[in-house]
Chain A
Amino acid sequence: MEIIACIKQILDPDLPPAKFIIDPQKNRVIPPEGIPSVINPYDALAVEAALRLKEKKGGRITILTLGIKTAEDIVRKGLAMGADEGRIISAPDIEGLDSFATAYLLSQAIRKIGKFDLVLCGRQAADWDNGAVGSILAEFLGIPVVTRARDVAALDGKVVVERLSPKGLETFEVDLPALITVSNELGKARIPSGWGIITAAKKEIPVWNLKDLGIDPSQTGEMAERNRLLKLFAPSLERKCEIVKGETPAEAAEKLAEKILERKVL
């Protein structure tokens, strides 16, 4: 199977709240010092899903990403997990591109890669949370899409996908080539082995710019923003917390119950 896994590098979602600071002039989060960016956890699971398929069916996995300065780190992580190739797409103002521009660049890179059976993406990026690139990419490639998979199994010429909806489990079948986005219910992304890290470090990762992708830099209508980011701000959600104490658990429980009942919410 020829599999392409699209990944994004993002601010660590587990960043301590005190380090999450917005620059109000630039409408961007200030990159915190000393805390490296990470591969989007959902995209790590997309790579994991690809590896599980490769283990069963054989084939090749190509990691694809839009290159911000440290993008090579996450591509090497994917290679260290067991992927075969990596490609970085370079374009001006990559961090400012919206879901459509991102999907457009990915689609052009995938066309350049050539034949493929399956594209895997995370269901959303844990920074912008739009959850749209995968589906838009499928539309641009003209292939079918199933989102939020918790399991992807390959049969001949098709995949069977399980996903959880609020009502329960749904199982779908789709002919290849197709695009699947992957959800956290897939499980855990494997940790690269020492050997994997060593072999990945030696691999060459080509960088493709707009010209390499056959995009005329002056004709980037497809990449024009459709909506304008006006303001990025942190809402003040904090409440004043009254901590209850007691000599014994029973005493503290009584006090807590008293305060809850006082507020008339029961």
Chain B
Amino acid sequence: MAEDHGILVVGELEGGKLASLSKELLGGARRLADHGNEEVSLLLFGEKAAALAPGGIQLGADKVYVAAHPVFSEFNSDAYTILISELCQKVRPSLCLMGQTDLGRDVAPRAAARLDAGLCMDCVEVNADSEQWHYTQTRPVYGGKALAMVGSEDGRMQIDTVRPKSMSPWVPQGERKGETVILSEGLDASSLKVRCLKREYQEAVEVNLEEAKVIVAGGGGVGGAEGFQKIKELAKALGGAVGATRVPVDEKWAPFSMEIGQTGKIVSPDLYVAIGISGAAQHVTGVLKAKCIVAINKDPDANIFKFSDLGWVADYRVAVPALIEVFRKRLQ
């Protein structure tokens, strides 16, 4: 049997364009592929995605597959699992990369089961420079308290999902040429076992948390939905977005879209202000890339101070209004 070759990136769209995370994966794939002189392919879903193929090629893909049949126009775990598994079976990449997104979380394990492949979820690093292993992957475990480095051998396909902001996009090469392959086949409807009854999506938020340069986030210490009003005011005074840890979301003081951490969003702001946040690993793992972390907590022993650059031991009910006052004056 011919050896598996090449890297396949499963791309996703955001607002009709190639998602930032997909651009990161392409950049990462390109660097990995250049190690062994391999090809990078990109898989896109939906007929309209064909128009994005040249962009994908400029960002590092040698070939772009477009699953153009209407059944793929919206994410469906069954449909995407079947298509990705069949494409991998045909193309036989040595590595298939997906984002650690709803798609990646659902499809990667299922495809790996079908393909008898290795699997590594939520990778923060993938390397091809080991002599002993085809690829080495590093992923956070124990809620981010530790990192596990895992090796994959030649001779078995590997499927990895990658955490946002772990890889960086290639600088687009304008004149780059590649191939676009339209996959026009659909699926037997009986193979789709899960029916989506409804999607109640919120309006797109003004400031995308993942792109925000300034974030003010509240944790369990905020104590209730009312406290979040103060968080929002401070965010406004700083021109930033509002975030939350899992506690406020579980308690319903803040929506899931605000959640930052292992099961929420990964952020990389210049300034992160953590208010009433204890500093549990599952949350901290989502803000590691922040340039400056400021913590306000009334407990001087709170874990968050170990991961912060600046700290103020105080009750947020006193501290936050004082800060709002100061910043309103200074930033006028």
B331 / chain A contacts, CB cutoff of 8 Å: 266
Known: A169-B199, A241-B311. A230 touches B295 (CB 8 A): no
Q: Is the CB of A227 within 8 A of B151?
A: yes
A-B contact pairs, 19 of them (CB 8 A): A13-B142, A17-B306, A20-B145, A128-B141, A135-B106, A139-B114, A172-B197, A173-B194, A226-B156, A228-B150, A229-B148, A230-B151, A232-B146, A232-B148, A240-B309, A243-B312, A252-B312, A256-B294, A257-B323
Chain B interface size, under 10 / 10 to 19 / 20 to 34 / 35 or more: 35 or more
* Separation of A139 and B114 alpha carbons in the complex (Å): 7
Chain A interface size, under 10 / 10 to 19 / 20 to 34 / 35 or more: 35 or more
Q: Is the CB of B198 within 8 A of A171?
A: yes
Q: Is the CB of B142 within 8 A of A253?
A: no
B142 / chain A contacts, CB cutoff of 8 Å: 11, 13, 20, 29, 126-127, 129
Q: Is the CB of A250 within 8 A of B322?
A: yes
Q: Is the CB of B330 within 8 A of A257?
A: yes
Q: Is the CB of A144 within 8 A of B193?
A: yes
Residues 49-90 of chain A, each 1 if its beta carbon lies under 8 Å from chain B, else 0: 000000000000000000000000000000000000000000
The number of A-B residue pairs with CB atoms under 8 Å apart is 236
B170 / chain A contacts, CB cutoff of 8 Å: none
B236 / chain A contacts, CB cutoff of 8 Å: none
Q: Is the CB of A266 within 8 A of B305?
A: no
- What is the distance, in angstroms, from A177's C-beta to the closest C-beta of chain B? 11
Give the residue of A135, A140, A167, A174 whose beta carbon is less than 8 angstroms from that of B201.
A167
Q: Is the CB of B200 within 8 A of A250?
A: no
Instruction: List A231-258 residues whose CB lies under 8 Å from chain B.
Output: 231-235, 237-244, 249-250, 252-254, 256-257
- What is the distance, in angstroms, from A43's C-beta to the closest C-beta of chain B? 15
Q: Is the CB of A29 within 8 A of B146?
A: yes
A234 / chain B contacts, CB cutoff of 8 Å: 145-147
Known: A144-B194, A241-B306. A22 touches B200 (CB 8 A): no
Cβ of A263 under 8 Å from chain B = yes
Cβ of A196 under 8 Å from chain B = no
Q: Is the CB of B307 within 8 A of A237?
A: yes
Cβ of A4 under 8 Å from chain B = no
Residues 136-164 of chain A, each 1 if its beta carbon lies under 8 Å from chain B, else 0: 10111000111110000000000010001
Instruction: List A83-106 residues whose CB lies under 8 Å from chain B.
Output: 99-100, 103
A136 / chain B contacts, CB cutoff of 8 Å: 109-110, 112-113
* Separation of A243 and B317 alpha carbons in the complex (Å): 18
* Separation of A217 and B23 alpha carbons in the complex (Å): 45
B326 / chain A contacts, CB cutoff of 8 Å: 250, 253-254, 256-257
Cβ of A216 under 8 Å from chain B = no
Cβ of B102 under 8 Å from chain A = yes
B150 / chain A contacts, CB cutoff of 8 Å: 227-230
* Separation of A171 and B199 alpha carbons in the complex (Å): 6
Q: Which 4 A-B pairs have the closest CB atoms?
A: A144-B193, A253-B322, A139-B113, A132-B109
A242 / chain B contacts, CB cutoff of 8 Å: 309-311
Q: Is the CB of B199 within 8 A of A168?
A: yes
- What is the distance, in angstroms, from B50's C-beta to the closest C-beta of chain A? 24
Residues 228-257 of chain B, each 1 if its beta carbon lies under 8 Å from chain A, else 0: 000000000011000000100110000011
* Separation of A138 and B158 alpha carbons in the complex (Å): 20
**Majority DSSP secondary structure for residues of B touching A:** mixed
B312 / chain A contacts, CB cutoff of 8 Å: 243-244, 252, 256
**Majority DSSP secondary structure for residues of A touching B:** mixed
Q: List residues of chain A with CB under 8 Å of any chain B CB.
A: 11, 13, 17, 20, 22, 29, 99-100, 103, 126-132, 134-136, 138-140, 144-148, 160, 164-175, 178, 183-185, 226-235, 237-244, 249-250, 252-254, 256-257, 259-261, 263, 265-266
- Which of B214, B246, B322, B325 is most buried by chain A, counting CB atoms within 10 A of its CB? B322
Q: Is the CB of B294 within 8 A of A260?
A: yes
Give the residue of A168, A235, A253, A265 whose beta carbon is less than 8 angstroms from that of B292.
A265
Residue of A nearest to B246 (CB): A184
A145 / chain B contacts, CB cutoff of 8 Å: 77, 110, 194
Q: Is the CB of A228 within 8 A of B113?
A: no
Q: Is the CB of B322 within 8 A of A249?
A: yes
Give the residue of A13, A135, A265 whose beta carbon is less than 8 angstroms from that of B110.
A135
Known: A135-B113, A257-B330. A249 touches B195 (CB 8 A): no
Give the residue of B193, B197, B309 whose beta carbon is less than 8 angstroms from that of A241.
B309
